[in-house]
Structure 1
Amino acid sequence: MRLLLALSVASVMILSAPTAAAQAEPLTVVHSERISLGNTTLTASFSDWPIKAGRSLDFTFEPAGGIEGRGGTVRAIAPSGQPQALGIVGLDGEADMKLQRHPQARHAWGLDVVALPEEGLWRFEFTVPGVGTGTLPVLAGPMPGPPAAVSWTFGMIPWAIALVVLGRRWWRVRKATVLAWSG
């Protein structure tokens, strides 16, 4: 019986492997902005619009003429005016991030599944050597959903109830154990 179960599980894993290894779906772009980049333009596209703080989305950046043979950096400036590293996986945490191909839109540079941590007017400053520099202002609206304190409070209610129940049971066992030893 165990051998049959093991063979069934193995065959399901082998048959589903090509599906899991299939290429990711193309990125869905819902909004684009054109910005001046030296004497040319750069198209910035977004997978979600309007942008909400704390909500993940994808950015793509494509200069006129494509990205082949080009490189550059992007710097994210928070609403406070300070450069901010966005904590993107694979980047070194520096404010000046090297522009890399987007994993789903290989024809463009991009930031994959990133969230702007605070609401307000963000600026993305692009520098492409030999082409120029440009700035993209992006307004991030308020974080969707209830405030974090309300979410945490409701999320902790089940744990508080469990703590009370376990505490009462512990007290009863302790009380019964003390009475048994003193008797």
Structure 2
Amino acid sequence: MKRLRLAICVAILVVLTAPAASAQPEPLTIVHSERIPLGTGTLTASFTDWPVKAGRSLDFTFEPTGGIEGRTGTIRAITPSGEARALGIVGLDGDPDMRLQRHPRARHAWGLDVVALPEEGLWHFEFAVNGPDGTARATLPITAGPMPGPPAGLSWAVGMTPWAVALVVLGRGWLRVRRKAVLGWND
């Protein structure tokens, strides 16, 4: 009897979770593309948000002329201050020369999934693509505008105000209870 119940529970769980597990991710909505010379062809860099704002997440895709099949490559992000850095992407171990990988929602192209440029200013993305014709290099300049929204200090102050009020109310309540407890012991 217990095995039958267990089998029924497992069957219900499989039926309920199968649609979610088999669902396809939503395709990217590309709003802007840039073409840059790459060897004898071009590299098309596409963005899901334009103009790019500092601190705002977006997706990048990169596709050389002829597609990515049979090719490998790296990308290096150069900050406005001139330092090479990784963009905090999971699994890249902080190496500034990131290996180009297929974008999870645009499998026909390489890409960076949900990345934010942390600084405002002119960024440079340096590409090195290895293909049948050898290694080709390209540089894509991108200007990241100011971070959207109010300054971080103001955001924190507004967000912490309810907690400050709660701390004052709890502190006053604690002092009131403590005074009553001390007076009660003195009687």
State the superposition RMSD in angstroms.
1.8
Secondary structure of 1:158 counterpart? helix
Between 85-94 and 53-62, report the one with greater CA deviation.
85-94
The match for 1:78 is 79
Matched, 1:161 2:162: no
Distance in 2 (alpha carbons) for counterparts of 1:174 and 1:14: 57
Q: Which residue identity does 2:118 align to in structure 1?
A: P
1:181, distance to aligned residue in structure 2 (A): 1.1
Q: Which residue identity does 1:93 align to in structure 2?
A: G
CA contact (8 A) 1:37 1:131 kept: no
CA contact (8 A) 2:124 2:139 kept: yes
The match for 2:98 is 97
The match for 1:112 is 113
Relative to structure 1, the CA distance from residue 142 to residue 13 in structure 2 (aligned partners, 3 Å threshold; closer, same or farther) is farther
Distance in 2 (alpha carbons) for counterparts of 1:182 and 1:12: 63
Matched, 1:149 2:150: no
Relative to structure 1, the CA distance from residue 53 to residue 13 in structure 2 (aligned partners, 3 Å threshold; closer, same or farther) is farther
The match for 1:42 is 43
The match for 1:174 is 178
- Percent identity over the alignment? 72
CA contact (8 A) 1:53 1:119 kept: yes
Name whichever structure is richer in strand by fraction.
2
Secondary structure of 1:144 counterpart? coil
CA contact (8 A) 1:40 1:131 kept: no
Distance in 2 (alpha carbons) for counterparts of 1:28 and 1:91: 25
CA contact (8 A) 1:101 1:107 kept: yes
CA contact (8 A) 2:63 2:110 kept: yes
Q: Which residue identity does 2:155 align to in structure 1?
A: S
CA contact (8 A) 2:62 2:111 kept: yes
Q: Which runs of 5+ in 1 are unaligned?
A: 1-6
Q: Which residue identity does 2:48 align to in structure 1?
A: S
1:176, distance to aligned residue in structure 2 (A): 0.6
Distance in 2 (alpha carbons) for counterparts of 1:21 and 1:134: 38
1:91, distance to aligned residue in structure 2 (A): 1.7
The match for 2:144 is 140
Q: How many residues align?
A: 176
Distance in 2 (alpha carbons) for counterparts of 1:168 and 1:20: 51
Secondary structure of 1:146 counterpart? coil
CA contact (8 A) 2:86 2:92 kept: no
1:19, distance to aligned residue in structure 2 (A): 3.5
Distance in 2 (alpha carbons) for counterparts of 1:49 and 1:117: 16
